[in-house]
Amino acid sequence: MGSELVGTLNYWLAAVLLLIGLQGMLMRRNLVKKLMAMNVMQVAVIMFFISLAMKTSGTAPIELPGVTDVDAYINPLPHALMLTAIVVGVSTTGVALALLIRIYRYYGTLEEPELLERMQE
Amino acid sequence: MTPFRTRQNLIWLVILVAAGILFYAGSQLPPVGDPRSPAATHVSPYYIEHSHHETGAPNFVTAVLADYRGYDTLGETTVIFTAGLACLLILGVELGRSRPGEEP
Amino acid sequence: MRSPFGSSILDAACRLPVPLVMLFAVYVIIHGHDSPGGGFQGGAILAATVMLIRMVRGEDDVWGLDRTRAALLACCGVGLYAGIGLLTILCNGNYLDYGVLPLPLKPEKVRFMGTLGIEIGVAMGVTGVLVLIFDALTEGETQEGDDGK
């Protein structure tokens, strides 16, 4: 059990980071803090995928002349998928920040309880 | 209890359930760095072996992203373009003037 | 961001790294085939240099990339990518099948050139969009701040 825990340590840490982000998104009352917690969750998922791509005998996925063994390079597929994930994260954060600026200009506050009160008036 | 305290207890319960599911699933994963894990033995050996003489690029990640899966990269460029467009539309920015201080 | 920082030390200090960083960004875009890099990374670095100038010198020093031109750059980037795909259809191939382009090179070098073309398109698109998002988010009200409602 102990050696199994050390062997999969990256996955446990990525799960803890995901839970920290989830807790921040549900518990905090300021909208900007919720947005930052969402970014933390995205980083946790990206870390999980990158540690799935690891091979202990491998090096960076750029072909060295003469070395053609499959086990000498790490898995390139999750890295390509996570480039897409990073760009999607940037897009989501940009649009969310634009929405927050509009909310602030119209209601004057970014705290959730006051926002709900002002919306009902 | 105030409504906020009951909501807080409910949130801790949800996080505990999510933690249980994540840790149970995490214990079934192969160890990090295993060269015989399922992620490393189906499609990626083909990419590692054949990408240099099929695409002419020594970098496997660029070959996968721009040649084997080039259509997905087109979709992703459209995603970031749409996000920029949505940002402009939400904030009501006009493009008709070249310097922000002048009149249109 | 609205008005210049007002410090001549920052103004002089940012003149040194900016040309070197722009050159490095173009290097990262074009050498995406031989070293880590590619279109997205180089486009983000290029947008970062424009944002640095915008932050230090204020909003009026648009440095050639005012809002209309940034939107045009983004559209040209996406259009270049989709246009190469349509070009391969006109040359009797599938969409985005670079092997059928009529260049006088070996077959894998033709695919190399096709990939280089779309990486440049991606870099232009990413630069334009990031500069546009930065401009839109920092436009805002007057310098005295909002009064809310």
DSSP A36-79: HHHHHHHHHHHHHHHHHT-BTT-B-SBPPTT---GGGB---HHH
Would you say C49 and C20 are in contact if contact means Cβ atoms under 8 Å apart? no
The answer to whether position C27 is within a domain reads yes
Whether residues B91 and A52 touch (CB distance < 8 A) is answered with no
Rounded Cα–Cα distance for residues C30 and C22 (Å)? 13
The answer to whether position C109 is within a domain reads yes
Whether residues B56 and C35 touch (CB distance < 8 A) is answered with no
Whether residues B76 and A63 touch (CB distance < 8 A) is answered with no
pLDDT at C145: 41
Q: Domain spanning A2-61+68-120 has what CATH number? A: 1.10.287.3510
The answer to whether position C112 is within a domain reads yes
- How high is the mean pLDDT of chain B? 85
Look-up of token digits 């750029």: A62
pLDDT at C4: 67
Query: Which residues constitute the domain of residue C97?
Result: 8-137
Residue B10 is which amino acid?
A: L
Rounded Cα–Cα distance for residues C140 and B92 (Å)? 11
Q: What is the pTM of this model?
A: 0.87
Residues of A in contact with B67 (CB under 8 A): none
Rounded Cα–Cα distance for residues C102 and C90 (Å)? 11
Contacts of C78 by beta carbon, 8 Å cutoff, 6+ apart: B77, B78, B81, C121, C125
| Dihedral angle computed from the Cα positions of residues A22, A23, A28 and A30, in that order, rounded to the nearest 10 degrees | -20
Q: Which of B57-61, C39-43, C91-95, C130-134 has the lowest mean pLDDT?
A: C91-95
What length is written for chain C? 149
Give the residue with greater pLDDT, A4 vs C97.
C97
Closest CA to C2 of C56, C50, C39: C56
> Which residues of A have a CB under 8 Å from any CB of C?
60, 62, 83, 86-87, 90, 94, 97-98, 101, 104-109, 118
Q: Count chain A–chain B contacts defined by CB atoms under 8 A.
A: 121
Number of domains in chain C: 1
Domain ranges, ordered by start, for chain B: 1-31, 41-92
pLDDT digits (tens, 9 = 90+) for C3-35: 666 678 888 888 899 999 999 999 999 998 888
pLDDT at C124: 94
The first and second tokens of residue A31, run together, are: 């909208």
SS3 C89: helix
Residue B2 phi, psi (nearest 5): -70, 160
Interface list for A 86-105 with B (CB within 8 A) = 87-88, 90-92, 94-95, 98-99, 101-102
Interface list for B 54-83 with A (CB within 8 A) = 58-61, 64-65, 69, 72-73, 76, 79-80, 82-83
Would you say A62 and A1 are in contact if contact means Cβ atoms under 8 Å apart? no
The first and second tokens of residue C141, run together, are: 């009200």
> Above 60 in pLDDT, residue B104?
no
Residue C66 phi, psi (nearest 5): -70, 180
Could you give the ipTM of this predicted complex? 0.86
Whether residues C137 and A108 touch (CB distance < 8 A) is answered with no
Domain ranges, ordered by start, for chain A: 2-61+68-120
Residue C40 phi, psi (nearest 5): -65, -45
The model's confidence at residue B97, banded by pLDDT at 50, 70 and 90, is: low
Rounded Cα–Cα distance for residues C95 and C82 (Å)? 9
Would you say B30 and A7 are in contact if contact means Cβ atoms under 8 Å apart? no
Count CB atoms within 10 A of the CB of residue C23.
Answer: 10
Across the range A102-115, mean pLDDT stands at 90
SS3 A91: helix
Across the range A92-118, mean pLDDT stands at 92
Residues of A in contact with B87 (CB under 8 A): 94-95, 98
